[in-house]
Chain A
Amino acid sequence: MRRHTGEASLAQRYSPHPKQVRVQGLGRGFWLVTALLTLLSLGTTYYYLFGSIDWIMPGASHPVADRASDVDGLFKFMAVFGTAILIYVSGYVIYFGIEFRARPTDPPDLVGVPVHDAPKLELWWTVLPTILLAVLTALSINVWYKIQFGTGAPALTMEVVGHQFYFEYRYPGLKTSVFSKTEPMHLPLGVPVRILITSADVIHQFWVPEIRLKQAAVPGLVQNLNYTPLRAGTYDIACSEFCGPDHSVMHGQLIIEPVADFNKWLEGQKKAAASAGATVNLANGSADAGKATFAQKCAACHNNPPTPFDQKLVGPGLAKITDDPAHPTLVTGKPPTPANIADILQNGFTGPIGTMPNRQANALSDKDIADLVAYLTSLK
């Protein structure tokens, strides 16, 4: 590669006193453009505040949950100022680009106005954004507080467990689970609900776009969402954290319906579960088979061989479950009778201590349950 050291272009010959562009003030064009940009931003502001933005924020005009309108308010606030800033910046960039373009008649050493800085101006564009962001912070914290503590004591606490690639819904008093592959999830209209979210395998995310809030389903961690459904209807549920090959078809439906309908549906589910012969005959369970089953299906969360209650793995230790002076009752608060132990095995359990999946999630056959109960009650 030859190096060219010879003739340099005109632009590089610096005259000690270069000719400078003369500019009187900001000029009329600047103010015209400013006015135009201001009008534009006012227009977008009007649109965000009074137009229908349902096409970007689904269900914005008729909030589906009590938090949706708060989030939308925050979104609109940011959209108004964000769009305005974008309009001004790009507007000025384009205007300056045209107004101050080099003309073919320019002498080669013509340079722009040699202004290095303007402290007052810089102060303004440091202070104003700071104030704006401070306000935004305050608003965000306010909505954050509502999300965390704003919803009243839950009238319904249900569980969502993420699986590859479906959601499992558990309702109180319902022995069987509802699976998003086959059935929609139901929520009662107008009452505060608490949704406990965890995962059985990898990280998922439980998201209903119209409700705005989402929460990750992380294995070994129970998180929650609290809100009050405000509008009946059918909505999509999506998993928004990559969870494996079929992540994109991990999908469910949420039906929000009046409390009466919801209860009717729940009763129907319970009947179905009962008719499915959910009561297990515990008579002929074998403790030895139960020991094997325990090692196979329970040891992931409960220490094996079973330990005293306080020695937790994920769930508590299960030794002396039937006669532990420190813990006379089961986690359900019921006496440690075989029937009550079987109840936990069938329906799972959720409480401050953690979440245990139910028999469907653990794939426990009736015999497994019988054997496990025999085994656990045999521990002394």
Chain B
Amino acid sequence: MHAGTTTTHDAHDVHDHIHPAPEGFIRKYVFSLDHKVIGFQYFFTGLFLLLIAGSFAELVRLQLTKPEGAIMSHNAYNEMFTMHGTAMVWMVLIPLVTGAIGNFVMPLQIGARDVAFPWLNMASFWIFPIAALILFSSMLFGGPHAGWTEYPPISLADGTAGALWCMAIFVIGISSTMTGLNFMVTIIKMRAPGMTWTRMPLFVWATFATALMNMFATVALSAATGALFIEHVFNVPFFDASRGGSPVLFEHMFWFYSHPAVYIFIIPAFGVVSEVLPVFARKPIFGYKMIAFSSMAISILAFTVWAHHMFPSGLAPWLQLPFMILTYAIGIPTGIKVFSWMATLWGGRIHYTTAMLYAMGFLITFTFGGITGVFLASVPVDLHMHGTYFVVGHFHYVVAGGAVMGFLAAIPYWYPKATGRMMSERIGQLSFWLFFIGLNGTFLPMHWLGLEGMPRRYASYIDFAKSNPDAQFWNTFETAMSFLMVASVGLLVFNVLWSIKHGKVAGINPWGARTLEWTISSPPPYYNFKKLPEVYGRPYDYDRPLPYKNTDNELDEYPEYGRVLMPIPTPAAVGA
């Protein structure tokens, strides 16, 4: 037991030194090593790119208000949906959910002073705007036209623009690989004393699962885009059928990353929902272990299902079956999650904040998206639905109704911690209802349009409209509805900026949440925790007192600690 106490002491020796405060504007806000500042940088960059990519989406929608195409040429339309998809996936969603939310929240929740490798963290942020610049610069060279999947041979026709596309994705891939590595090490090694794996907040579990995929899958993407790049530039025949290459090979290499990519941005949303629901239902999360386990199960299964995107695309028929079965297998942990969230609401005391509304909306829209996913996983049905608007509807329900909803729940939830001010509830709830209605109105009709025979990536649908007179009505309806989402995002941006100055003062813990980030001041000091907290129990037990020791709420302004070790608590104080 003597050893026991010494290790306790060492634990504090190890972590209790506080680095001196960063000085000067550049160190503080530009090349900052502070995970919170880096989180802000990701957030605002991502939000800005979200507006751009979103406006592309609206151009796409406007084009479809007329069967022959309302506003632009086929080429321009193809460029628009390509840039919309690419930017949304790599430049908006992944940076926002992992980069912004993950960076800001995860170290606070595990009671760490920062991530494991702050320099790496800074580097992976600063790579991101560079990648974005490369991607958008490709539009000066005619722009990529082959869709966000950029299949050869069609993408090889894009020339310089295509090469730039590959370069941009390669670079952003390096960034998220580095982030993944950083987060893995942070979560494995830097949890506060006493925070066992089963005492981690569920958002940390989600971040861990995400980091796993970021690390291992994204490298495969780098390989795919790298190979496509050298085929573009040096004419190396990886994918050129006439010289022995194979277009299907690219689809394999691409989807081996890009299926996990979907989970890379949905699983952090799972984490956010698992945080928000217990807090505003004022009761423990239902089935903590199952939710944590299912996150890991999903992230591991994610590596084994990529070819379900290729059922009609030249996959050997016998290969279709294992991929179909594995895809169904993913439905099981996902179902467990949804049911557990549902059960968390039962017997609660539900406070309807904006975050809670988004979380509950998530439950409905994500369930819908998950169910349509089961349709697509079945080989025979997929042979009908593949490449139609049904697919577009499905993944927008999962991405906009899942990942984005989770992200929108996270903003009002952690905004007080980040800025010290509350966001306006009235504006927030209005923007929720706009978003929820707009989302369903936009993406629901896509399902039957697709089943009726409207393929995706259609710059015009004259022939389809001939045999389906309702086509134009539904497309116009979708376009109209999509503008509700625009309004909602506009309100969100206004709310974020306005509340920085005019929001109510938040205090340390406005929600009565129980994870560690709510035990320190809002916004937290650059070193997060003056003393490292000690953890004695699970985070969501609303019926018990807080399971933390050694936390302190009243922090003075930046103290001049340097690398001095903090005083060691006596075993008595620790045990109590």
Q: Do chains A and B touch in the complex (CB under 8 A)?
A: yes
A147 touches B383 (CB 8 A): yes
Q: Is B157 an interface residue (CB 8 A)?
A: yes
Is A102's CB under 8 angstroms from B351's CB? yes
Q: Is the CB of A203 within 8 A of B153?
A: yes
Judged by a CB distance under 8 angstroms, whether B493 is at the interface is no
Q: Which residues of B contact A140 (CB under 8 A)?
A: 324, 378-381
- Are the C-beta atoms of B247 and A203 separated by less than 8 Å? yes
Residue of A nearest to B320 (CB): A144
When distances are taken between beta carbons in the complex, the residues of chain B under 8 Å from A122 are 287, 290, 336, 339-340
Docked complex Cα distance between A92 and B344 (Å): 11
Of A1, A16, A130, A148, which is within 8 A of B420 by CB? A1
Query: B419, B462, B543 — which one has the most chain A CB atoms within 10 A of its CB?
Result: B543
Please give the number of chain B residues whose Cβ is less than 8 angstroms from any Cβ of chain A in the complex.
Answer: 113
Contact mask for chain B residues 445-478; partner A; CB cutoff 8 A; 1 contact, 0 none: 0011001110111111111100100000000000
B24 at the binding interface (Cβ < 8 Å): no
Whether, in the assembled complex, A213 has its beta carbon less than 8 Å from a beta carbon of chain B, the answer is yes
| A24 CB, min distance to chain B CBs, angstroms | 11
* A75 B381 Cβ-Cβ under 8 A: yes
**Cα distance A14–B340 in the bound complex, in angstroms:** 26
A380 within 8 A of B: no
Question: Is the CB–CB distance between B543 and A18 below 8 Å?
Answer: yes
Q: Is A364 an interface residue (CB 8 A)?
A: no
Residues of chain B within 8 A of A239, CB atoms compared:
455
Bound complex: CA A357 to CA B360 (Å): 57
Interface residues on A, range: 35 or more
CB distance from A57 to the nearest CB of B (A): 6
Q: Is B27 an interface residue (CB 8 A)?
A: no
Once the chains bind, are B347 and A117 in contact (CB under 8 Å)?
A: no
Residues of B within 8 Å of A247, CB to CB, are 74, 78, 457-459
Set of chain A residues within 8 Å of B153, measured between Cβ atoms = 201-203, 219
User: Distance (Å) between the CB of B438 and the closest chain A CB?
Assistant: 18
From residue B498, how far is it (CB to closest CB) to chain A in Å? Answer: 15
Q: Which of A179-225 contact B (CB under 8 A)?
A: 201-203, 205, 207, 209-210, 212-216, 218-221, 223
Interface string of A72-112 (1 = CB under 8 A from B): 00110010001001100110110011001110001000111
A125 near B282 (CB under 8 angstroms)? no
Contact call B313/A96, Cβ cutoff below 8 A = no
Q: Which residues of B contact A330 (CB under 8 A)?
A: none
Residue A314, interface by CB 8 Å: yes
Q: List residues 529-576 of chain B with CB under 8 A from any CB of chain A.
A: 541-543, 545-546, 553-555, 557
Known contacts A4-B420, A12-B518, A240-B386; 14 additional CB pairs below 8 A are A3-B523, A5-B521, A11-B512, A75-B375, A96-B348, A100-B348, A100-B349, A111-B543, A114-B284, A137-B324, A213-B383, A213-B384, A248-B458, A314-B242
24 A-B residue pairings within 8 Å (CB atoms): A12-B507, A14-B545, A70-B380, A86-B367, A89-B367, A90-B367, A93-B360, A93-B363, A96-B348, A97-B360, A100-B346, A116-B541, A144-B321, A147-B379, A205-B312, A205-B386, A218-B247, A219-B241, A240-B388, A241-B151, A241-B387, A245-B74, A246-B74, A249-B462
A residues lining the B interface (CB < 8 Å):
1-12, 14, 16, 18, 20-21, 23, 55-58, 67, 70-71, 74-75, 78, 82, 85-86, 89-90, 92-93, 96-97, 100-102, 106, 110-118, 121-122, 125-126, 129-130, 133, 136-137, 140-141, 143-144, 147-148, 201-203, 205, 207, 209-210, 212-216, 218-221, 223, 236, 238-249, 251, 300-301, 313-314
